[in-house]
Amino acid sequence: MDSQDFDLIQKAKSGDETAKAVLYQKNVRLLYGYLYHKVGTPQDAEDICQEAFLRAFKNIKKFQGKASFKNWLFQIAKNIIADHWKAHYKGNTILVDDFFELPDSPSYDIDNEEEVKDQVEAEDTLKKILDDLSDDYRAVLELRFLRGYSLQETADELGISLSNAKVRQFRAIKKAKQITNNEND
């Protein structure tokens, strides 16, 4: 952490509103861009961004400096995003990009704008993969890995047998990996 951020954080811990405003200005644009690409709507990105800053400043005295303020803020935002999707889908979520093992998928430890750009590219790749799948394959993957449905719940939702759901899931994953490999060629 650079000395300027250290000084700002110390002042913010003491209740200095100007220091909080400077920390906000230094991080808001990058955080909003990251959030917009994660949730897809300006309203949700703004809401989550605001909530992340509110939580960060409410808990600033707990900030230990083991990571940069920016990384701490992004971790708070990541937790809010998880809550957002859980509420939206009312179920468990699984990170689809982990499941597909997208190439060079950047970590969520955001250090600079270049890493955010890399993250956006990985998410664009994921969107392209889903767009390139047939409706049947996309539906089974979205239910299983975005909404957290079990195989039986997926089968019930799609009106197919459990064995058919298993076959579709297997084929959809295989096709998604083929699309990923073609993207990298």
Of the two residues 134 and 40, the one the predictor is more confident about is 134
The three-state DSSP-derived secondary structure of the chain is CCHHHHHHHHHHHCCCHHHHHHHHHHHHHHHHHHHHHHHCCHHHHHHHHHHHHHHHHHCHHHCCCCCCHHHHHHHHHHHHHHHHHHHHHCCCCCCHHHHHCCCCCCCCCCCCHHHHHHHHHHHHHHHHHHHHCCHHHHHHHHHHHHCCCCHHHHHHHHCCCHHHHHHHHHHHHHHHHHHHHHHHC
For residue 120, the model assigns a pLDDT of 67
> How high is the pLDDT of residue 105?
41
Domains recognised in the chain with CATH numbers: 1-90 (1.10.1740.10), 92-185 (1.10.10.10)
100: Cβ contacts below 8 Å, ≥ 6 apart: 126, 129, 173, 176, 177, 180
Name which residue leads in pLDDT, 95 or 132: 132
Residue range 47-83, pLDDT digits in tens: 999 999 999 999 999 998 888 899 899 999 998 888 8
pLDDT digits (tens, 9 = 90+) for 121-155: 766 776 777 788 888 888 888 778 767 778 888 88
Token code pair at residue 21: 């405003």
Average pLDDT score over residue span 26-44: 88
